Structure 1
Amino acid sequence: MVSIIEPSHFDAYTAFVAVINNRDSTPYIYRTRDGGNSWQKITKGLEPGRIARVVREDPQRKGLLYAGTENAVYVSFDDGDHWQSLQLNLPTSAVRDLAVHDIDLVVATFGRALWVLDDLSPLRQATTQIASSNAYLLRPAMAVRVRWDNDQETPLPPEVPTGQNPPDGAIIYYYLKSPSPSAISLEIRGAAGRLVRRFSSEPPPPDKTIKNVPDYWFAPLVGIPKNAGLNRFVWDLHYDPPPTLQYSYFGNTLNFVEYTLSGHAIAGDTPREQTLGPLAVPGEYKVVLTVGDQKLTQPLAITLDPRVHVSQADLDWQFETTMKIEAGLKSSYDAFSELAALHKEITERKKKLASDAQAKDAADAIRDLEMQADAIQDGSPASPGIGPINRDLARVAFMVESGDAAPSGAAQSAIKESCNGLTKHLAEWRALQTHALPVVNARLEKYKVAPLPLASTGTAKTADDPRGDACQP
């Protein structure tokens, strides 16, 4: 009985058939190259005693075949002359059909439901050149920019069985002949070479933040892999997350990270960042893999979700707006951290001055300085300080990035108000450091108390930093 007839995608006279003999468990797959006048048996490498039920040809690479037998999936790179197992983590089960859907291989099993091998790029690009290279970066398949559903019915209890979604973003494969003794890096760059995001095999620093939920909810902190053989890394198409301060839903400052787990809460895979960087706009990018002295480059195309209808101009406007907000988030975060460090120093100086009754002028001066710093850092309901502005900018960033559209009028008004307030307070902070701080330090030195240092916790902006120079309305 002929189970499957698979005409070739490349040659009108070539076809493949899988044949079942009900009284014989031997696998039978045949190939014709002359329109069916003659047939050649092609089963070398298939496990004997296992019926072959299906054979399919890859529509993009000539000679690449897939076969399904009574217990496994196989692949051939030479038009069926030789087969090897493609089982991976697929449970042992009868494979009744196979289908190549874009870049995926869909496997229909008997009793084990449907399974999907995500991204056939490594198989389509596999050559002897890759195997003989010390390092090789494969060309990524086109990435589709799809936004998450913000109304998922999560969290589910960790003990509830859940499926696994396909990788979300750009799937990047690279081959290493042996484990790299030194760190490797992976960079995403725009068409003009501007850095979008950088990843390293160095393990990230431990997450020491205090959270209101158990740590088992979150995705593990790991660097990109650098193992011998084929490695895979998935970039989620987001830029780096901006630094944000911790505020409750009602606007109160917190000394811990408050997670609601109202969306995307999957045990072991929940994002740690509540404010993500903006999504990369559709277009052409480059992937750069650095292994030792080698720099390997491949192009990467990002396309818009085909269900979304929006102009490139609106997406560019949205992206530029978000990057301006992120510039404000960074500058407000750095200034808030500097002010917090100054407050700690002020507290120490006040303790020392309290024991000296003659130092009233210095105590008054440092108290006035503290009040000025408080006004800049926290402000008032009528004039929010740098901290509340950081909170408001994070909220408006979420609003701007919540869909594929140009920023709304309400968002633009909120950005303008926050950026104007931030510009004012940053100028006040610079003036305080330039004028008020030296006066206070002169009083402190008079009583042999160490001067207040000019705290600086901000990170320097590099030439590759994609964020703007300032928060702009």
Structure 2
Amino acid sequence: IWAGSDDGLIHVTRDAGTTWQNVTPKGMPADALVNSIEVDPHRDGGLYVAATRYKSGDYAPYLYHTDDYGATWRTLTKGIDRGHFTRVIRADHNTPGLLYAGTEFGLYVSTDDGANWRSFQLNLPEVPITDLALKDNDLIVATQGRSFWLLDDLDVLWQGLEDFDAARPHLFQPHPTVGYGGGNGSESVTAGTNHPAGVRVNYHVPEGVEDATLTFRDSRGAEIRSYDGSDLDITAGLNHFDWDMRYEKADDFDGLLMWWGTLNGPVAPPGNYTVELALDRDTLVSSFEVLMDPRAECTREDRISQFEFLKSIRDKVDETHDAIRHMRSVKSQSSALLGRLDEDDYPAIFEEARALDSLMTAVEEVLYQTKLKSNQDMLNFPIKLNNKLAHVGSLASMGVYAPTEQMVGVRDEVTALIDAELAKWHTLRDERLPAFNALIRDSAIDLIGVPEE
């Protein structure tokens, strides 16, 4: 047990307080105030000390370290401005020799166990740092008069100290990420800014590189999402990308309107994943883990069951919307063809085109409420199968739990009805449409013609 006092003394006991030994550094002024002590997390008998004498008009920094229970001490102030008196020192829990110091005029960092210091302000205001704390991979900074600040993702610092070459691309391993929580990262003038939800991927791009691609894969290597171009907005130096952990969303189509139905892909469940950074001739790969939210009352299996359920809904809604889009494309092409022809010259083509149009329209009207023109129209015209299924997905994604028996029942019932309509479309697509195209070819219709005067 260590104790530092306001009158410049440091004591240690190694027998649970039965006896104490005065181990005050010989070079520390007698009237210094021991402002903070930090047990060295990497060495037995190690302690870091921050002391001040600003109340006596001395604004010099006083930092010390021992690794032998106070028998000997080192002074650790090289690089800190002589007028920046030191209030606190903390040792990184992950990387030996990585230290943080809070002074009257800002933050300092040392990567060589205090032998040298340099400013670590980044976007911090120039303000007294009264305390520092480390939690997981975050550095928490308490200031005097300017609130609390957090430096996220110390992983970049940890990994950068191990193996980093600024002339080459580098993909930092993402920190294990809880599957829910966080915010959208937006800034506010009246409230703090939460870390964006999801997995943050930090990567370094050297000069001259303009294009890159980030690809996320599951534990089997299957691609989940891929991002490039404007999604990344890369610049030379350190970049980061926040993946929301969502799978690809279901497709939509022009004019789609839905009531309380989601197209969002499901959020990746707990498990192991990889991210790939591809640029120029290099492809870098790193693994990461998505963790269960410790606040969740469900099990890991429940969360995976929810994911599989939502993915099945996403897949079926996607298939439904693709079918609607394809049917509309066929009808549009058919209408354009008929607009070029005289019905008296091609009565069979007009008859078959109208029959196909009628059959496709009947299928679409079961799958989607075609009368919707605004969001208020749902009050007058009932939603159809695509919206009913998407609504179940919305309800099932509102919490963190396995789908209920009723949700599964509704999904299965609506899916069966959708499949019946899709089967009709597939028959039209695979049988009637090829026959219609054959009829068009047999009719020897010119593709290009000169308008009659």
Q: What 5-or-longer segments of structure 1 have no aligned partner? A: 204-221, 252-257, 259-273, 452-473
In 1, Cα distance between the equivalents of 2:171 and 2:220?
20
- 1:189 corresponds to which of 211, 217, 227: 217
Q: Secondary structure at the match of 2:149?
A: strand
- Runs of 4+ in structure 1 deviating by more than 6 angstroms, as ranges, are 380-384
C-alpha distance 166-449 of structure 1, shift in aligned 2 (>3 A): same
Q: Secondary structure at the match of 2:276?
A: strand
In 2, Cα distance between the equivalents of 1:63 and 1:357?
90
1:308 matched to 2:296? The reply is yes
Q: Secondary structure at the match of 1:379?
A: helix
In 2, Cα distance between the equivalents of 1:435 and 1:450?
24
C-alpha distance 431-249 of structure 1, shift in aligned 2 (>3 A): closer
Q: Secondary structure at the match of 1:168?
A: coil
Of 64-73 and 412-421, deviating more is 412-421
1:342 matched to 2:330? The reply is yes
In 2, Cα distance between the equivalents of 1:292 and 1:382?
47
In 1, Cα distance between the equivalents of 2:385 and 2:156?
47
CA deviations on 1:412-437 (whole Å, 9 max, x unpaired) are 12221222122222221122133333
One-letter amino acid matched to 1:366: A
Q: How many equivalent residue pairs?
A: 400
Q: Secondary structure at the match of 2:427?
A: helix
One-letter amino acid matched to 1:13: G
- 1:8 corresponds to which of 23, 33, 40: 40
Q: Kindly state the Cα deviation for residue 165 of structure 1 after the two structures are TM-superposed.
A: 1.1
Q: Kindly state the Cα deviation for residue 250 of structure 1 after the two structures are TM-superposed.
A: 4.9
One-letter amino acid matched to 2:172: L
Match of 1:174 in 2: 203
1:363 matched to 2:350? The reply is yes
CA deviations on 1:101-153 (whole Å, 9 max, x unpaired) are 1211111001101111112111222226303661222222110011579xx9x
Q: Secondary structure at the match of 2:164?
A: helix
C-alpha distance 7-442 of structure 1, shift in aligned 2 (>3 A): closer
Percentage of pairs with the same residue: 30
In 1, Cα distance between the equivalents of 2:181 and 2:76?
45
Of 435-444 and 425-434, deviating more is 435-444
1:319 matched to 2:347? The reply is no
In 1, Cα distance between the equivalents of 2:115 and 2:362?
77
Match of 1:230 in 2: 238
Q: Kindly state the Cα deviation for residue 160 of structure 1 after the two structures are TM-superposed.
A: 7.4
One-letter amino acid matched to 2:196: P
Mapping of residues 45-444 of structure 1, within 5 Å: 45-127=79-161, 129-131=163-165, 134-146=168-180, 161-181=190-210, 183-200=211-228, 202-203=229-230, 222-223=231-232, 225=234, 227-245=235-253, 247-250=256-259, 275-353=263-341, 355-357=342-344, 359-379=346-366, 388-438=384-434, 440-441=436-437
One-letter amino acid matched to 1:65: L
One-letter amino acid matched to 1:413: G
Q: Secondary structure at the match of 2:269?
A: coil
Bigger radius of gyration, 1 or 2? Answer: 2
C-alpha distance 13-285 of structure 1, shift in aligned 2 (>3 A): same
In 2, Cα distance between the equivalents of 1:365 and 1:284?
53
Q: Is the 8 A contact 2:202 2:240 kept in 1?
A: yes
Of 420-429 and 388-397, deviating more is 388-397
Tell me the TM-score normalized by structure 2: 0.79
Tell me the TM-score normalized by structure 1: 0.76
Q: What 5-or-longer segments of structure 2 have no aligned partner? A: 1-32, 372-382, 448-453
Q: Is the 8 A contact 1:173 1:232 kept in 2?
A: yes
CA RMSD of superposed structures (Å): 3.1
C-alpha distance 450-358 of structure 1, shift in aligned 2 (>3 A): closer
In 2, Cα distance between the equivalents of 1:94 and 1:172?
31
CA deviations on 1:245-289 (whole Å, 9 max, x unpaired) are 4544559xxxxxx9xxxxxxxxxxxxxxx6321111112222222
